[in-house]
Structure 1
Amino acid sequence: MSNISASLTNKFPGRGEQIEHLLSLLGEESDPTPQCIFIYGPTATGKTSVTRELFTKYDSAGQHYAFINSIECFTQRLLFERVLNSWAGHVPGVENRFANYARCDNLVDFVNCVRDLLHGKQEKTHYIIIDQAERLRDRGPMLLTSLLRLSELSDVNVAVVLISNVVWDKFRPRHGGAFDPVLVFFSCYTKQQVLEIIERDCPAGEPAKFFLTFVDAIYEVFHRNCADLNELRHLVAMLYPKFVQPVFEKQANRSEFTRLFKLCQPYFSAASERLYLREISTTEWQKYSAISSAKTAPEDVTMSIHQMAENNEGLDLPYYTKFLLIAAFLASYNPSRLDAQYFARGKGPNKRRTKVFTQDSLGGKDRQQLLGPKAFGIERMLAIFYSIIAEPADSSVDVQIQIASLVTLRLLSKVSAGDRLDGIKCKCNVSFETIRGISRSVRFEIDRFLYDFT
C-alpha cells in the first residue's frame, strides 16, 4: 500500500490526503470494505483520474473492479452488462458475435447474475466504480438504492464507488431505503498546487523557471474567471508559444519578462474571449496566430483571430442547436416586453415602433449590449426558438438534450439553482460576432430582431 500511495502522490500533486483516505478504506484484500464510497468535489479536481489510477494499481489484473461512465451507460441494461463483462474478463468481439457475458434486462436479473458469477469468490471485494453518478437519479426510482445495498441483495462481497460533482444531500434518494456512504471530498487546488501541476507541462528544452514564471502570470490573469484546471492548462499550451516567440525573433530577452508580457497582451485578450468557449481548436489557434508575429500591430493580431472565427461560419453545431443558441442570444439581449412585437407569428419586427425604444442606440449607458447578457427562463427561449425557425421542428429532435448540450459546452450558463431544465434560468455566453456568424450559416437575419444593436 505504501508503494501505491507514494507513486500516486507523486503523480497527482495536492491529492495525497485523498489518496491515503481511499487506500485506508480499501485496505488489504481480506479486510472488510464499506458498501459504498462517495467521492465528490468541484470539476477538474482529479476525482476520476485519481480513482482510475488507484484501482489500476490496486488491482493490476483489472477483474475485480468495473469502471463505468454513466453517460455512456445511459440505460440500466448497459450498466449491468458492462459491470458483468468487466468482472468476468469478457470482451465482446467477432468471435462471440459481440455478445455480452449475460443479458440483464432488469435489476432482478443483475442480482442473480452477480450471485452466480461471484459465488465462491468472497476472498476479495469486487467494486463497481460509477463516474458522473448523478445521472443515476434519472434511471429509475430504485436503481441507486439497489446499488447501495447490492452486497445485501446478492449476498456477495461487493462495494460501490460513486464519483460526482453533486453533494450527497442533493444525491440522496427521496424515498429512503439507502444508507449514507463514506464521503471522500476532493477540494479545489490551491495556487501552489496548480503551479506544481502545470509546471509538468513545460515544453522540452525550455527553462523550467522561466516557464513557471509565465504560468504564474497566466494564473493571476485568468483564475478569477477560469477556475477550471483543464482550461488553465489549455490556455498555457496556447499562449506560451506566442509569449516566447519574441525571444527567438531577437526582440527581447528572457530576463525582460515585462516586455514579453506586453508584446503578448493582444493574444491574452483574444484568448480570454475565444478559447474558453473552444470556438477554435488548439491546432487552429496555432495555425492562424502564427500568421502574426510579435512585430505585428496589436490591432492586427487581435483582428486575425476574430476574422478567423468569423470565416469559420460560427460553431460546428447541429442545425436546430444553432437556432436554440440564436434564441438564447435574443432572450439575453432583448427586453421581454418586446417579444410579442418581434416574434409574433406572421409578423416581422415593427420598424416604426422600434425607433421609439432605440433613442439611446448611439452608445448611451443603458444599451443592453454594454450591460451584458441578462438571465432568461428556458420557456421564453423555447417560445422564441419555435417562432424563428422556418418550419416546424422535426419530431425526432430532442430539444431538451440539445439545451443540456449547450449548457455542458458553456455556451449557456445556469444562473439559478436546480437540475431540471424546465425550471432554471440561463445566460448566453457567446459574443455578437459569433452569433452573427452562426446566423449567417443558417441564413437567419439576426440584426432585424435585435433591440439596440443597429
Structure 2
Amino acid sequence: MTELSATLVGIYPGRDNQIDQLLSLLRKPADPSPPCIFIYGPSATGKTSLTQTLFQHYDTTGKHHAYINSIECFNSRLLFERTLNAWMGHQPSAENRFGNYVKCDNLVDFINYTRELLPHGEKHFMVVDQAERLRDRGAMLLTSLMRLSELTGRDVSVVLISNVIWDKFRPRHGGASDPVSVFFPYYEKNQILDILVKDCPPEEPQSFFLTFVDAIYEVFRRNCVDLNELRHLVAMLYPKFVQPVFEKQATRAEFPRLFKLCQPYFTAASDRLYLREISTSEWQKNSTVASVKNNPEDVAMSIYQMADSDNGLDLPHYTKFLLISAYLASYNPARLDVQYFAKGKDPKKSRKKKAVTNGENALGGHNRQQLMGPKLFAIERMLAIFYSIVAEPVKSTVDVQIQIASLVTLRLLTKASAGDRLDGIRCKCNVSLDTIRTISRSVRFEIDRYLYDFA
C-alpha cells in the first residue's frame, strides 16, 4: 500500500490526504470495506481521474471493480448490465454479437445476479461517476445500491462520485446509513503550479515556464479556479507569450517586457477564449495573424474581431448602433435617458443617483426590464440615443432613415403603429440580450454600462 500511495502522490500532487483516505477505506483484498463511499467536491479537482487510476493499480485484473458513468448509462438497465459485464470480465464484441453477459432489466434481477455470480470472500466495487443523476431514476435505486452488500450477502462496496454535497444528495425517505465521505477541495496555488509545470514543453526552460504559469494564475484567479480551464489558457497563451523571444523582440530574461507585449492576448482570452465565444481552433488560426511586431492596439483589435462574422447579423457600422439604440430604448425607462445619455454624463454616477432617488436596493428591488420584455418607444427617442452613443459625427452620406427601414424589414425592429412614414411611429426591439451584446462588442460599445437592469 505504501508503494501504491507513493505512486499516486507522484501522479496527483496535492492529493496526499485523499489518497491516504481512499486506500485506508479500500483496505486489503481480504478485509471488508465500507458498504458505500461518497467522493465529492467541485469540478476539476481530480476526483474521477484519481479514483480510476487508484482502482487500476488496486485491481490489476480489472474484474473486481466496475467503473460506470451515469451520463453514458442513462437508464437502470445499462447501469446494471455494464456493471455485471465488468465483474465477469465480459466485453461485448462482434464474436458475441455485442451481447451482454446477462440480461438485467430491473433492480431485483441485479441483486439476484450479484448474489449468484459473485463468489463469497471476494471484494468487488461498483464505481458510479456523475452519481447525482441516480436521484432521478426511481425512489429506491440509490438506497438499494447503498445497501447492496447487505441485500446480496456479498462483499460489495459502492463508490459514488459527485459534485453535489451529501445534504442535497441524501434520499428523502432514508432507508440507508450515510456513506463514508471523502472531500476533494479546490487546489491551492502551489498545488496548481506543481500540476501545470508538468505541461512544460520539452524544449522550454522549466523555470521560465513556471514563471509564466504563475503570471497566468495571478491574472485569472479571481474569475477562474478550475484547473482544466487554467490548463487550457496556459496551452493557448504560452505560444504568444514566448513568440517575441523567437522574433528577437525580447529575451527570456525580460519577463516584464514579454508580459506587456502579451497583455492584449490576456485580455482577449478572458473575454473570448475563457467564455468559449471562440473555439480553440479559431483562436489558434486567428492569433497567428496578430503579431507583437504590430501595434498592441492593432493586436487587440485583431483578436477582438475573432468570430465576429459568426454573430449572424452582418450589419453596417451605423446600423449596428441604431439597433443598439433601439435595444436601449426598449429596455430602459424613458425618464432615465437624461441620466444615461446626456453629453458629459457618466453612466456609473447616473446609476448611483438613480438608486438613491428610487430607493431600490442592490438585490433587485425594481422589476427587471429583461424579464418584462421590450417596451414600445418612439423613433425620435431612439435617434436621440443613437446620436448620443455614436462617438464620431455621423457622416452626411449616411441615410439613417433607410437604415431604420432596413431594420424593420429584417424584423429586428417591430412596428406598432400604422402608416408607411417613419416619423412618429412607435417600435420595439426584437433581438435578445446575447445578440445585442455580440453586436456591441463588434463596435467596442459597452452596453451593460447603459442598461438599467445592470445597475
Where on the TM-score scale, by shorter chain, does this alignment land: which range?
0.7 to 0.9
Deviation at 1:360, TM superposition (A): 10
Letter in 2 for 1:227: V
Letter in 2 for 1:15: R
The count of residues paired between Structure 1 and Structure 2 equals 357
Residue 394 (structure 1) aligns with:
none
- 2:63 partner SS: coil
Contact persistence 1:341–1:350 (CA under 8 A): no
List per-residue Cα deviations over 1:176-219 (Å, max 9, x = no partner).
10111111111111100001100110011100000000100000
Contact persistence 1:309–1:434 (CA under 8 A): no
Evaluate the alpha carbon distance shift between residue 430 and residue 198 of structure 1 in structure 2; reply closer, same or farther with a 3 A threshold: farther
Evaluate the alpha carbon distance shift between residue 435 and residue 75 of structure 1 in structure 2; reply closer, same or farther with a 3 A threshold: farther
Residue 355 (structure 1) aligns with:
381
Contact persistence 1:41–1:166 (CA under 8 A): yes
Aligned counterpart for 2:437 among listed residues 410, 432, 444: 432
Matched, 1:177 2:175: yes
Whole-angstrom CA distance in 2 between matches of 1:34 and 1:430: 52
Evaluate the alpha carbon distance shift between residue 429 and residue 217 of structure 1 in structure 2; reply closer, same or farther with a 3 A threshold: farther
Residue 88 (structure 2) aligns with:
88
Aligned counterpart for 2:205 among listed residues 207, 222, 232: 207
Unaligned runs of 5+ in 1: 315-328, 343-348, 365-387, 389-427, 438-449
Map 1:119-158 onto structure 2 (within 5 A): 121-158=119-156
Aligned counterpart for 1:166 among listed residues 164, 170, 174: 164
Letter in 2 for 1:246: P
Letter in 1 for 2:123: T
Deviation at 1:282, TM superposition (A): 2.7
Deviation at 1:310, TM superposition (A): 1.6
Whole-angstrom CA distance in 1 between matches of 2:189 and 2:21: 23
List per-residue Cα deviations over 1:88-139 (Å, max 9, x = no partner).
1111122212111111111011111111111xx2222110001111111111
Residue 49 (structure 2) aligns with:
49
Residue 220 (structure 2) aligns with:
222
List per-residue Cα deviations over 1:231-261 (Å, max 9, x = no partner).
0010000101000100111011111111000
Contact persistence 1:29–1:123 (CA under 8 A): no
Letter in 1 for 2:22: L
- 1:264 partner SS: helix
Whole-angstrom CA distance in 2 between matches of 1:451 and 1:112: 62
Deviation at 1:351, TM superposition (A): 3.7
Residue 288 (structure 2) aligns with:
290
Residue 29 (structure 1) aligns with:
29
Residue 184 (structure 2) aligns with:
186
Deviation at 1:299, TM superposition (A): 2.4
Letter in 1 for 2:25: L
Residue 275 (structure 1) aligns with:
273
- 1:203 partner SS: coil
Contact persistence 1:45–1:186 (CA under 8 A): yes
Deviation at 1:336, TM superposition (A): 4.2
Evaluate the alpha carbon distance shift between residue 256 and residue 341 of structure 1 in structure 2; reply closer, same or farther with a 3 A threshold: closer
Deviation at 1:434, TM superposition (A): 6.9
Evaluate the alpha carbon distance shift between residue 16 and residue 358 of structure 1 in structure 2; reply closer, same or farther with a 3 A threshold: farther
List per-residue Cα deviations over 1:2-45 (Å, max 9, x = no partner).
11111000010000111011011111110111000001111111
Contact persistence 1:231–1:276 (CA under 8 A): yes
Whole-angstrom CA distance in 1 between matches of 2:259 and 2:126: 49
List per-residue Cα deviations over 1:123-162 (Å, max 9, x = no partner).
2211000111111111111110000001111111110000
Letter in 2 for 1:67: Y
Aligned counterpart for 2:242 among listed residues 219, 241, 244: 244
> Which structure is larger by alpha-carbon Rg, 1 or 2?
2
List per-residue Cα deviations over 1:70-104 (Å, max 9, x = no partner).
11111111111110111111111222121111111
- 1:308 partner SS: coil
Deviation at 1:288, TM superposition (A): 1.2
Map 1:300-449 onto structure 2 (within 5 A): 300-313=298-311, 336-337=368-369, 342=374, 350-352=376-378, 355=381, 362=388, 432-433=437-438
Unaligned runs of 5+ in 2: 313-326, 333-366, 391-411, 413-432, 443-450
Residue 6 (structure 2) aligns with:
6
Deviation at 1:430, TM superposition (A): 8.5
Contact persistence 2:37–2:160 (CA under 8 A): yes
Residue 410 (structure 1) aligns with:
none
Deviation at 1:431, TM superposition (A): 7.8
Whole-angstrom CA distance in 2 between matches of 1:31 and 1:191: 38
Deviation at 1:307, TM superposition (A): 2.5
Whole-angstrom CA distance in 2 between matches of 1:304 and 1:243: 16
Contact persistence 1:354–1:451 (CA under 8 A): no
List per-residue Cα deviations over 1:337-366 (Å, max 9, x = no partner).
576663xxxxxx6342893898699469xx
Letter in 2 for 1:432: R
Evaluate the alpha carbon distance shift between residue 148 and residue 353 of structure 1 in structure 2; reply closer, same or farther with a 3 A threshold: farther
Whole-angstrom CA distance in 2 between matches of 1:132 and 1:5: 25
Q: TM-score, normalised by structure 2?
A: 0.73
- 1:37 partner SS: strand
Map 1:106-117 onto structure 2 (within 5 A): 106-117=106-117
- 1:104 partner SS: coil
Contact persistence 2:283–2:306 (CA under 8 A): no
Letter in 1 for 2:157: A
- 1:39 partner SS: strand
Moved more, 219-228 or 276-285: 276-285
Letter in 2 for 1:93: S
